[in-house]
Chain A
């Protein structure tokens, strides 16, 4: 009976904390639809904003999937996959990476000084720049999550069977494993597609300005308090959800088309020269992508740090006039304050989310009842901005009257979904035998979990903590709008500072963000490698 109450209370509280925000969404979502006669359609540049948002979502998510498939294909056909090859880029906060990318590759940036006009594609605020940055950031995300999904499939056996009936390893990946992997990745791909179509912070800093993309436009409207802007924000929210729906349908259609394409090629005779050419091309793309990811991330990290110590680094000088710690000394109070807030919120969120995810997984295993992942990941399938705008119109602020509590709750909610994506596949792969055996020796459920199951999940738990922390650290829209500017973090400060023409101060905040992520990543790697008892 006590155990029943224990499970019931635990899962009940968790379900309330996961379900309550949806209640507020339903309550607060303004039913001001963008009908054909709506004010929204008369806003100058709205058609371009819509078109560009879709282009960003489609192109960035497709290229990221393409590169990730090639990297994972190599993993599947060549023994043990590498685990650290995309770590640096994966851990890089989007915004910090974007700031460094702009300073390195845009006109008057560092590369322009070394090789003038060698990189003419990256304007300071353009679609190409935004898409490139998103591809750089989303590809490692898909690779990390993709490797987890791959590990759930008997892919080695499938490739071996394919090869034993005369299909090459590479062809076996594309024809046998890839369709199943793509299906397993559906929810992750939908989350990435919706994120890319509705991204706010990176789009504000690197995306086109006149007109901006739809999501930054909605934030601008939301932050103005005249009735017209509020009306536009409400209609824009729905439009953004429409775009998200289109992206979700696109991912499903893309999966169906690719699976049909692969199926149609089964049994087809393929010339050896063609296979060799494909193998060479994919090998080049994989190597080039990994070199680009590692090279650009390393360069970006170094550039950010260098910027913070540089004085008088004016165009066209390749090096600054002098190096100095003056900037760090001048701003360390502000920086430490923001770092403290960011880290405190992040740690609380990471610990709470990881505990909640662990408890929910255990409840499902214990009761042999699997909640469909789509329900638990639903927060990723609606543009974050639409959700936050709905919360602002609801009783959310009465429930969470404290700004920090409000921000923590929102961070927890979004971090939970990402953490679940990381932890659930790993947990499913671990048998309950050890835990049951422990209980048969007289250990209670959670004591047995701690001593016998947790050691098998050390890596997954560490990665869950890392991802939930990184998600919290990177939150911009909920922190800005729900915190009403009274809970400034490194991320919100960085967006505010990036709108000016100054590089050094944003670089300091970006460096702090990235270092925070890197330290967390290194700690995660150390914990994951600890010998398991």
Chain B
């Protein structure tokens, strides 16, 4: 039974690698509004694949089973666009052939706003980030930090209940990495959006509310059998 105070609840999660039949159970996870969970583990352990599965992507090499509940509603069978889960990727956070404003407009289409209202929202949000004069620029004309911030803004403008961050600071140099990281966590917390961030760097997870080290148990046993 999921408590009403818990916004996001992930339970009975199991990953099965199709090639060799290995399985990996993950502990149940609960996140309230604005809370963040950091998942750490070595490269190639399956963290990013797990995030893709939470998002709803079907992967050819791994199968995900489990329940993803948002405000008590199981969304695990819904298509990506209806889950209410956003993602920020490490590379190409923005569509390079569209201006910043157009990139942000993609996230507003569900809200039924007029073009004028969309423009107003975009201008206001960019101004809040101190990027007011960037609206008509192409992503290629922005710095890595600016791209990361606008990428996150786009994700957030779609009003997701949960944001997935897949090694989001990898493309940044050390100094900028810390700035953008601090800003990201504050930004999500202020807006009350839960987040799961995976990284192989401990520093990236210094501000999260919960931490999980990626379990390294992987056995040749079906998920059903493991959960019994």
Contact = CB atoms under 8 A, between A and B. Distances in A.
Interface residues of A, number: 26
A165 B112 contact: no
A163 interface: yes
A167 interface: yes
A165 B155 contact: yes
Contacts of B79: 163, 168-169
Interface string A151-166: 0001001101111111
B196 interface: no
B95 A166 contact: no
B47 interface: no
A261 to B, nearest CB: 13
Contacts of B91: 154, 157
A266 B104 CA distance: 10
A167 B86 CA distance: 12
By CB atoms of chain B within 10 A, which of A79, A80, A269, A270 has the most? A269
Contacts of A165: 86, 106-107, 154-155, 157-158
Contact of A158 (B86, B95, B110, B155): B95
Contacts of A166: 81-82, 107, 109-110, 158
B109 A267 contact: yes
B60 interface: yes
Contacts of B97: 179-180, 183
Contacts of B157: 165
A154 to B, nearest CB: 5
Given A166-B81, A267-B118, A161 B95 contact: yes
A119 to B, nearest CB: 42
Contacts of B85: 164
B105 interface: yes
A263 interface: yes
Interface in B143-191: 154-155, 157-158, 160
Contacts of A197: none
B95 A163 contact: no
Interface residues of B, number: 37
Contacts of B70: none
Given A165-B86, A165-B107, A160 B80 contact: yes
A162 B96 CA distance: 13
Given A263-B102, A266-B102, A267-B115, A160 B57 contact: yes
A79 B57 CA distance: 10
A160 B92 CA distance: 12
Contacts of B105: 266-267
A268 interface: yes
A475 to B, nearest CB: 37
Interface of B: 52, 55-58, 60, 79-82, 85-87, 89, 91-93, 95-98, 102, 105-110, 112-113, 115, 118, 154-155, 157-158, 160
Given A158-B95, A268-B109, A269-B112, 17 more contacts: A157-B89, A160-B55, A160-B87, A163-B80, A164-B155, A164-B158, A165-B107, A166-B158, A167-B109, A168-B81, A169-B79, A169-B81, A183-B97, A263-B102, A266-B98, A266-B106, A268-B115
28 contacts: A79-B58, A154-B92, A157-B89, A157-B92, A160-B80, A161-B87, A161-B89, A161-B95, A162-B106, A164-B55, A164-B155, A165-B106, A165-B158, A166-B81, A167-B81, A167-B106, A168-B81, A175-B106, A176-B106, A179-B97, A183-B97, A263-B102, A266-B105, A266-B109, A267-B106, A267-B108, A268-B109, A268-B115
